[in-house]
A and B are shown apart, each in its own frame.
Chain A
Amino acid sequence: MANDKIDLTLYPGDILGLLGENGAGKTTLMNVLFGVYTADAGRILIDGKPVDIRNSAHALALGVGMVHQHFHMVPCHTVLENLMVGQKGYHGLLDRTSINQRMDQVDDSYGLRLDPDARVEDLTIGQQQRLEIIKALIRGARILILDEPTSTLTPQEAEGLFDALRAMTSRQMGVIFISHKLNEVRTITNRLVIMRQGKVVAHRQNDTSVSRRILAELMCGQQIDPPEKPAITASKPDQVLLALEHVATGGANRPHLKDIHLHVHGGEIVGIAGVSGNGQRELADVIAGVLVPTSGRLLVNGQPVNPISVREIQARSVGRIPEDRTGIGLITTLPLSDNMVMPRIREKRFSRHGFLKHDAIYDFVSEQIDRYDIKADGTTIRTGTLSGGNLQKVLLARELAWDPLVLLVAQPTRGLDIAAARFVHRQFFILRQRGRALVVISEDLEELFHLCDHIAVMFEGRIIDMLPIAEASVSRVGMLMAGIKETT
């Protein structure tokens, strides 16, 4: 059951933190509130009146606004035009002035400002999120639901968001703040609701009695060991296993990489930080072999890869785990075993003269299921039925089974519960210890600081700086993410 007898109360002036691991039912609950799903049982009351929320337009009419993780906007239109979508015009004519006035009101009340004539595609992710919030406010939302709002923001942008939320609550609005980041939930909320397996397991006032540790345990339902301390020895100047030299890319509708220079040594984890959309995805695609650079070289273990293609990259023993695990990494509608052997299906181990060796495939997949403790009902279960953490284990298993020299991973623990994330991190440390090179692209700074020996920051398609972990601090990396390089 996705949601089981949820009791939740939001008062005017509240910022309610909704905490839970992935799959705990947070998003389902919010979709019920926003009219995407209908509840099987129970009641929803707004201002004490029972309501039946039919769809998102109806939810908005009732004063419930939602800002999703992914924005719903027309990129080639201006801010003002996006705000007019779905608004009643004046006898069929577009009514620019009244929207403009309401934008000014929102600015006065909450300090949320945007240039009405800017095109949405030119806005930063933070500004686009602000537009979503303004849209909800203009439509009269008194209850605002934010789903993982800070995952794509720089630390400084997140502070700006928090200021706006405080301004809203001072005007008796209610905010529901969905997150799994414990620190920020403790910073911004005044009450906490913790969900686990579709149930509310705890209501807490957010005061000094609430610690990170307690929250983590409530979320997981078990004792969590203190975070493991890996033996970070200063990385030896080992051999360069992965090198990108003057790499640039083109392509419509995606950011271009410009003069990327990156060396990753054996026994080293290099983290790639940056606000999303600054070229991290393109960098990952180049290393994975799916995006061919317009210029520059890619070298694995000192040998240039030419031509750059998936097959060639695979042949050079580069393991790749994409950020979109269910769209690019795995084919969710196929059996688990198919996904597990797909990159290697032509190898002698799994096929002969074009015929599959089902027994060998079965043995291999069973072995991986055991080794990585993948929770799956058999080898041929539909891959999409696995949980996020298990999907990531499948990808890890399939790439690590061939002992790669280099491992590229994007957003390794996004959507994973704490235990699964720790498992993934442990695998990285083992590889590092064995002298492999790792590139970890992540929007979770905490994760990068925990894992990496070096942190490279991307901004507008360039690596604007790369810091040894000892010299990196959240504020310094945050400045770099915003494109500000200290000149000292």
Chain B
Amino acid sequence: MIGVRLERRDYTPVWLNLMLPFLAILAALILCSGLIAMAGANVFSAYAKLFLSALSSRFNLVETVVKATPLIFTGLAVTVAFRAKFWNIGAEGQLLAGAMAAAFIGARQILPAWSLVPGMIIAGGMAGAFWAGIPAFLKTRFKVDDVVTTLLLNFIIFYGMMALLDGPWKDPLSGYPDSPDILMEAEFPILLKATRLHLGVLLAALATPLVWALMRHTTLGFAINAVGENAKAAHYAGLNITGVMMATALLSGALAGLAGVGEVAGLHFQVMAGLSPGYGYTGIVIAMLARLNPLGVIPAALFFAMIITGAEAMSRATGVPVFLADVIQGTALVTMLIALLFNQYRLRWTKQSA
């Protein structure tokens, strides 16, 4: 009989470290190919459509980048939080908080026209930070589990938003639960003619190196790493754990809030029920695939945006339901978590004499 067991590794080869996300995605695709076969399509042509359609035209290419924008923000948000072991499952709710703040500012003539865009960005970031600050306060002050609070706050704000949309924000003409449109001056400028490539894309592209630099070159990033790796030892060395935790949460929430700002100011110009199809949760998968490295967030986000964009085309061409994109996302998280295990452990095949 041949058995298998896990043993702790003494060291991890560099190539393995780099390959892990790719191996995880490959494994996820192999696992999901069974579903494609069940849907009666050819696995290879379905995958070809799924990946290549995102790259097939200039329009699709830009759409992929636009789709990746909120994912980059939520991916960065989760990356920062997880580095400090602040388990922020609430990027989704923080995104909505940012979106609502942006929609509130943008639809009103309370600010001078020139300051609407920066005002929305600041308000959205602060709203997201506030929404992440609540669980961080509960965690540092009362030791309330952050996984539970961040997750549940997502539902609180979602239903709060729906109540607003069904009440004070309801469109009086159509009766749809959509918030009033933001002012023309509040819309993010378009960077590339005849596309939807808006200012938010640029902000996401800038935020990534900034977050990387923060983690690498500042005392805050230094402290976030230390607290995340071993809070007890960080405390013994004199770091302020509560302060670092709070700062991390606020930063993480602000980044997630910016995802919401971009969606409102750059794409939808209003808040509605389907504003986020789970960008906050996808951010978790992206952060894990990026191995919590801010620079890895961009390729991971682009990959998922590609799948999301390509799912429609695949569905039309092969009849495989678009939900396959969600299944691949979920499977990729599971395979990545398993792959991370091999970072520390290796498989040992053992022959057992029965």
Residues of A with Cβ closer than 8 Å to B? 37-38, 52, 54, 288, 290, 310-311, 314, 320, 322, 327-334, 338-339, 342-343, 345-346, 351, 354-356, 358, 385
Contact A351 B229, CB 8 Å, known A322-B236, A342-B239: no
CA distance A54 to B348 in the complex (A): 12
CA distance A136 to B225 in the complex (A): 43
The 3 closest A-B pairs by CB, nearest first: A342-B237, A331-B230, A343-B237
In this complex, how many residues of chain B approach chain A with their Cβ under 8 Å: the count is 27
What are 14 A-B residue pairs whose CB atoms fall within 8 Å in the complex? A52-B353, A54-B3, A54-B350, A310-B238, A311-B238, A311-B240, A320-B236, A328-B236, A329-B236, A333-B230, A338-B225, A355-B217, A355-B218, A385-B11
Q: Are A290 and B217 in contact (CB under 8 A)?
A: no
20 additional contacts, CB 8 Å, given A327-B233, A338-B222, A354-B218? A54-B350, A290-B235, A310-B238, A311-B240, A314-B238, A329-B236, A331-B230, A331-B233, A333-B230, A334-B226, A334-B229, A342-B222, A342-B226, A342-B234, A345-B222, A346-B219, A354-B220, A355-B217, A356-B219, A358-B217
Beta-carbon nearest neighbor of B353 in chain A: A52
Q: Are B238 and A343 in contact (CB under 8 A)?
A: yes
Contact A333 B233, CB 8 Å, known A52-B352, A356-B219: no
Q: Are A327 and B232 in contact (CB under 8 A)?
A: yes
> Which one of B217, B218, B230, B352 lies within 8 Å of A54 (CB-CB)?
B352
CA distance A351 to B218 in the complex (A): 8
B320 at the A/B interface (Cβ < 8 Å)?
Answer: no
B124 smallest CB distance to A (angstroms): 24
CA distance A358 to B233 in the complex (A): 22
B325 at the A/B interface (Cβ < 8 Å)?
Answer: no
Contact A327 B230, CB 8 Å, known A345-B219, A346-B219, A354-B218: yes
CA distance A328 to B239 in the complex (A): 13
> Which one of A37, A290, A358 lies within 8 Å of B236 (CB-CB)?
A290
Residues of B within 8 A of A331 (CB): 226, 229-230, 233-234
CA distance A102 to B263 in the complex (A): 72
Q: Are A355 and B226 in contact (CB under 8 A)?
A: no
Interface centre among B7, B218, B222, B229 (most CB of A within 10 A): B222
CA distance A345 to B238 in the complex (A): 10
Q: Are A355 and B219 in contact (CB under 8 A)?
A: yes
Beta-carbon nearest neighbor of B349 in chain A: A38
Residues of A within 8 A of B230 (CB): 327, 331-333
Residues of B within 8 A of A329 (CB): 233, 236
B78 at the A/B interface (Cβ < 8 Å)?
Answer: no
CA distance A358 to B239 in the complex (A): 19
CA distance A345 to B224 in the complex (A): 13
Q: Which of B1-39 contact A (CB under 8 A)?
A: 3, 5, 7, 11
Beta-carbon nearest neighbor of A36 in chain B: B7
Residues of B within 8 A of A290 (CB): 235-236
